Amino acid sequence: MGYFKNQLLVCATLECESIEEMVSSMEKAKQEGADLVELSVHSLNFSHISQLQHLLQHRPLPAIVSYRSKEVKNSKIEDSKKTCLQVLRLAVELDVEFVEIELEVASDTLISELMDKRSNTKIIVSSYVNGGHPSIEKLGNLIAFMQCTGADIIKIVIDVVYITDVAPILHIITHCQVPVIARAAGDRGLISQLLGPKYGSFLVFGSLGGKSIPGLPFVESIKQIYELERVNADTKVFGVISNPVGHSKGPLLHNPAFRHLGYNGIYAPLLVDNIKEFFRVYSGNDYAGFSVGLPHKEDAVNCCDEVDPLAKSIGAVNTIVRRPTDGKLVGYNTDCEACITAIEDGLRERQIANGEASQASPLAGRVFVLVGAGGAGRALAFGAKSRGARVVIFNRKFERAKALAQSVSGEAFPIESLGTFCPENGMILANASAIGMEPKINETPVPKEALRSYDLIFDAVYTPRNTRLMQEATEVGAMVVSGVEMFIRQAMGQFKLFTGGLVPEEFMRRTVLEHF
């Protein structure tokens, strides 16, 4: 077992239709930093086994050769099994580092034959479990059965329904007596790879840039963003709880910031459907802190044991920290100060340029038009009210707009009237809705002509960085404040809470501006 004893291996999963594509993909995997490749031979079109022989002999990286007979299209089961055995025997003859045998195909005689023929090849026996909610007991029984085959390594791949289904898989990695490769497939299974090394995984899977596979991080991000080789049993887990979560830039910022400070933490995207259930399952002290995104910010309040007074008055939490002394969940809202100070600083710049600077908030007495009444909208509404602004709220669900307006002594109008709303010029507009966010980047909450009524326009959306609303606001001469600025400020507030006061401000600001 010396081959993988002392290092984390990053394996690029390759599914290609042609031999030529497989060759170029192997080269790409090597360039991106993979340590080995998984060659899914069942996906290949080849007319003769000699073509595969040439491919294996000239592999630029160590390899796992796998052949899933069930995945072969337009093939009889018996023919597929026959080809499978041919492929596995060839791989062992050519001294390929790993061969993978499906549990259904594995037999005592086949494994004995391959063991006898091999010189250095390690035998992996795999099981692919579709659907359901795997329990620790069920997985334990499966692994015990797989161990009886005499395999060097056991591999399980499970289609998970919820992120909470990954917890038993992580538990099994820790307690298995033989080396185990475990993967939860699908977008909700991503943490099985990102957190695997914390629980003792010796191998994690990744996909190549430009070829996204649900549940797998990119090889380059494993190496450069997460640096999973640094993750160990003592690593504290942080992450962003959201749905969807793929757009989040949090991992690009928090992971390098942890390393910059020498703090042993990892920050992962967490695709969560039910936030209460998430905290019930991931209740250990190592799950130390979380950013909370759409649509969970309001529900998050009820998940906390304690809530900071500002967050309680807003009714939305965007940060949860597990207090180390007693394991209690404490909720905060860093959105409020982040967006309001970003808007104030933008207005003050203009005041200073015009020689009008004053001590009072530049929002005092201004009409503050807010689009969106969710968690971010609530933070903006309460922040604007605290600075003396007159808050006017538009939301797709008018009842939500009315309820929020009542909370801040403001007004609410149906979103259909937003384009014609103009009680005065020189207003402030803040978009706290998802309108204009990737992938719907051509949408905007307000028609371009209507933007002329506003002095400053703020967009909480930061993916893309320059939204259509921002572009059109600039074109009509309004001052703009990007969601990127709010993101930086709220993230620094969160990071300070995560680390108990540490925050490398200049480093974090530079990271965002360089990489976003």
Residues serving a catalytic function are 297
Q: Residue 312 and residue 303: Cα distance in Å, rounded?
A: 12
- Nearest of 253, 301, 329 to residue 492 by alpha carbon: 253
Residue reference for tokens 């984390």 = 8
Q: Residue 89 and residue 105: Cα distance in Å, rounded?
A: 13
- Asked if 294 and 434 touch (Cβ cutoff 8 Å), the reply is yes
CA 238, chain centre distance (Å): 11
For every residue of 191-249, DSSP letters joined together read: HHHHSGGGGT-SEEEEB-TT---TT--BHHHIIIII-GGG--TTPEEEEEEESS-TT--
Q: Is 217 left (phi over 0), alpha (psi -120 to 50) or beta?
A: beta
Neighbours of 462 (CB within 10 A): 23
Q: Residue 453 and residue 369: Cα distance in Å, rounded?
A: 11
Q: Residue 161 and residue 157: Cα distance in Å, rounded?
A: 13
Q: Which residues contact 1 (CB under 8 A, 6 or more apart)?
A: 122, 152, 179
- DSSP reduced 3-state for 287: strand
Q: Kindly state the greatest CA–CA separation across the chain.
A: 88
